[in-house]
Copies of this chain bind each other. A is one copy, B any other.
């Protein structure tokens, strides 16, 4: 490794001067500056970030916590964040928790140890009380997931509204027996809670009672969707429509439904959530709730970068709009 001292020696100056050139300090004579630059060029010198970081001078890494990168929702989110970061010279560290609490905490330690200068969390496994202490070490921004606090910036969509307009759309199409797939049912606050309320509110407004056996929790993947469809087929009183918590679940549902000879949307209407690429490619095209993923990621990245520059802009909640995309599955 070539160090700042090698450069200093070659340029015939002290390492202090080299450091000043690296950091664009004023008051360096043009000729020395040029000598230093030439020496750096000649030696192919790159400053050692560990050393700079140690002195508290460097901030170039942001971390994004996701449950699973293979979930397209999160890969698109990461994509957007990474692009914002890169434009400002930041590297993006991807932290996949696999929904493991300990893994999440181990990633939060990146903040404490200055390996990451800020963190964007797109999911939360631990209680906020566990996570909150880490805000002391650097900014944390929530994106997608949200909690019942006002002192942390959040970028979210109106999940309540998303489910509400989706279920309402099904009701308007004449459905009264509407099943519902969700991640979790019994959360205190946050995404799943709001979605559940949207579902219930839409039913309630139409005077439809909730049928608990049509509510299916802990569903996320295509495989989950297939299994749910099998469950539904075995029911005596079958729903005529399903609100799926993600386009992937919807895809699995659709596959299994078609395999069982059901026509979509005539025998069974399906609506998804997210508007991922898969939604368009399914046959029939999947009606779904579009989340502005790229904008969410972009906004989250921008907020985090802003917090890294000015210490404390007032943390705010940014709520982006969801949108019903009607295709052929409803």
- Chain A residues at the B interface, C-beta cutoff of 8 Å: 1, 46-51, 53-54, 68-70, 72, 75-76, 78-79, 82-83, 86, 91-96, 98, 103, 109-110, 112-115, 222, 248, 251-252, 254-255, 258, 277-278, 280-283
Contacts and interface: CB of A to CB of B under 8 A. Distances in A.
21 contacts: A1-B112, A46-B109, A47-B113, A48-B114, A49-B50, A49-B113, A50-B114, A50-B115, A51-B54, A68-B79, A69-B79, A69-B94, A70-B75, A72-B72, A82-B94, A91-B93, A91-B95, A91-B110, A91-B115, A93-B93, A277-B278
Contact of A69 (B82, B91, B278): B82
A222 B54 contact: no
When all copies of this chain in the complex are counted, the total is 2
B69 A72 contact: no
A85 to B, nearest CB: 10
Sorted nearest first, the 3 A-B pairs with minimum C-beta distance are A94-B94, A50-B53, A283-B283
A280 B225 CA distance: 13
A75 B86 contact: no
Contacts of A95: 91
Contacts of A251: 277, 281
